[in-house]
Structure 1
């Protein structure tokens, strides 16, 4: 792995109760890491953000799972970037495959969200990845290129962008991209950034892997040249997340 600061995110998705979160935070607080050397970012359900911020020890960053492409106003059910900043949060996820798949978020919507976050100075983990039929058809690079090219024009500060490559066929399925598949796609993403932005951006931008990451595969994956960390789903709700954090140190 290069000189890029590791990034490990826990996406709790639509999970958790007050009782389970209290227990989980107690477990996560056993993690030992230096926030100057690694970003550990937790994305709970929005209702639980305040509780999680209070329960987790200093060093963890709390993050929203989504952000509105509009500002404050008559947009029922949305959370604006203004709210996120006002709450003292540094990060949000954008374009998770479940947002794209179930809620109709197109590449253009993702680009709009990147734009509003960039203007607000909010750090974003932008999620990209291909479906199983696209992988089988050999279109992985074409898919991620299209997804990246959609938001590139909106980026004014690449230091606030982290790209999360999540093959959709590996999310929550227990199937993990092989180390060769993960490295190949991460390298392709870096090549796209080099060609479309600059060599400096390609070298400095962090690219995390997501897709059934666990304590049993994290050490192998983090050893890959272009894998800078993880966006973890199910395993981030378990004690195994401690081992995943440790692997990236």
Structure 2
């Protein structure tokens, strides 16, 4: 059985003082039954990787450029992330899609770059509130999945995270039935493309206002293999209960 995964996206939060939170997580979970991933800002990546090197905590990044190198001022390539100690990278997050105008094709290019550098690509999908209210959710998710996930994606190098845009940082979450519907669609589409066994092994995360109070209900939903957590991952005292809740289902 594929190990479940809980990932923390620190977004644009954190300074060197906050590395103590990673140390606290590593101490609290020395031998977890699930995989734990923390994605701090790029300024902390190398230090975080060094701190977590002998622990069960994996360190990841929040984005990468599609090119391996070049004249791209301010950007960071996938090989650079791997060199800094990252094992994974979040790609296609709705905040990148909206604020940096990233489309599905660019996300797929970045995922191919991540794969080539030996990184796990955590590819995010999600609909806006307007799309949800217009009953377009399944159509949007299917299109994003088709165009954002490149050929060669496997359970070893790829994770899919469903994050409804309207639930990120708002305190709102879809109903259990809505989450199950989308995760079921993703699993079935992956099965058509990759085959049943490969689709079953590929981990599907739910993200969007996941916190200790609602984690158990979310993790009980079919086809949910873990979570991509935002604000609740910034403090070990908030993130640890989510880790333990997922462990209880493993």
Tell me the TM-score normalised to structure 2 length: 0.92
User: Counterpart of 2:50?
Assistant: 54
SS in structure 2 opposite 1:29? helix
User: Counterpart of 2:9?
Assistant: 11
| Structure 2 gap ranges (5+) | none
Q: Which has the higher contact order (CA 8 A, sep 6+)?
A: 1
Shift of 1:74: 1.3
User: Counterpart of 2:174?
Assistant: 177
The C-alpha deviation readout for 1:71-102, integer Å capped at 9, x for no partner, is 11211111111112222321111111100010
Do the aligned residues in 1 keep the contact of 2:68 with 2:78 (CA within 8 Å)? yes
User: Counterpart of 1:245?
Assistant: 243
Do the aligned residues in 2 keep the contact of 1:111 with 1:154 (CA within 8 Å)? no
- Please provide the CA RMSD for this pair: 1.6
* 1:61-210 correspondence runs (5 A): 61-210=58-207
Shift of 1:42: 0.4
| Structure 1 gap ranges (5+) | none
Shift of 1:66: 0.4
Do the aligned residues in 1 keep the contact of 2:87 with 2:119 (CA within 8 Å)? yes
The C-alpha deviation readout for 1:39-93, integer Å capped at 9, x for no partner, is 1000001001122223346110000100111111211111111112222321111
Shift of 1:120: 2.7
Do the aligned residues in 2 keep the contact of 1:12 with 1:233 (CA within 8 Å)? yes
- Distance in 2 between the 1:49 and 1:137 partners? 40
Tell me the TM-score normalised to structure 1 length: 0.93
SS in structure 2 opposite 1:84? helix
Aligned residues: 245
SS in structure 2 opposite 1:105? coil
Do the aligned residues in 1 keep the contact of 2:233 with 2:239 (CA within 8 Å)? yes
Do the aligned residues in 2 keep the contact of 1:126 with 1:163 (CA within 8 Å)? yes
